[in-house]
Amino acid sequence: MKIVLATGNRGKISEIRRILSDIEVQVLTFEDFDSFPDPEETGSSFLANSLIKAKAVSEATGLPALADDSGLEVDWLNGGPGIMSARYGGEGLDDRRRYLRLLEEMEGVPEHKRGARFRCVMTFYPAPAVEILPQPPGAEADEIAELLGDDEKALVTEGFLYGRVAEEPAGEGGFGYDPVFYIPEEGKTAAQLRLEEKNRISHRYRALVEMKRLIRRYCLSAQDTQGSSL
């Protein structure tokens, strides 16, 4: 089965290909097409935005598409920056200026109130079945129902990495908010982890491992059934 990744991020592409390498899928990317959509993320949630991207790429390529949307949710900021993580502080800021802005917002906040989590929502569209893990709350479910339509189906998973906002940046690796995201179990920020260590525990890894299970369960089994009936 061929699928296409709804991302231009080469790091994501490499990670997803590696994790899906032991199932019978051929993973295509933007490099395999003459034109590739870059849809505007107008959803009000990670789930909605990941579905918007998956649908746009699937409809443009004629293939099932896998998309994700992710960001940082900080307890002190009532879940912010959330879906605005990549635009936090305004347009034109680089990663460093964004995480420094976050540290300014969190100045003086005690350690026990600095809880945060990275969240990733992953969507595979279209699919032979609808499975959304976990089920979204009411308003979000209504938005997804509008995006999917009556006869459309998708698989959705999510993954989390829990930690807290550090008081100062540390580490040279990773990207985004990694230098200020401290993981107590590791005793390091995400930017201090080796790439293989980070990939093993990341929110994206956890969402993708569950997605692989659903693809194998629904899509590959459906393909086998169709093939045996010919």
Could you say which of 22, 68, 69, 151 is catalytic? 69
Q: What is the pLDDT of residue 229?
A: 36
Q: How far is CA 123 from CA 7, 28, 171, in A?
A: 12, 16, 31
What is the C-alpha radius of gyration for the chain, rounded to an integer number of angstroms?
Answer: 18
Q: Is 69 a catalytic residue?
A: yes
Structure tokens at 140: 């979000």
N- to C-terminal Cα separation, the chain: 16
Q: Provide, rounded to the nearest whole percent, the portion of the chain with pLDDT above 90.
A: 73
Q: What is the pLDDT of residue 222?
A: 75
Q: What is the mean pLDDT of residues 149-163?
A: 92
Could you tell me which residue, 4 or 16, shows the higher pLDDT?
A: 4
pLDDT bin (cut points 50, 70, 90) of residue 84 is: very high
Domain-wise residue ranges, the chain:
2-228
94-101 long-range Cβ contacts below 8 angstroms, 24+ apart: 95/175, 95/176, 95/177, 98/176, 98/177, 99/169, 99/176, 99/177, 99/179, 99/180, 100/169
Out of 3.30.70.20, 3.90.950.10, 3.40.50.10610, 3.90.800.10, select the CATH number for domain 2-228. Answer: 3.90.950.10
In this structure, what DSSP letter does residue 195 have? H
Could you tell me which residue, 9 or 113, shows the higher pLDDT?
A: 113
Rounded to 5 degrees, φ, ψ at 195 are -55, -45
Mean pLDDT, the chain, whole residue set: 91
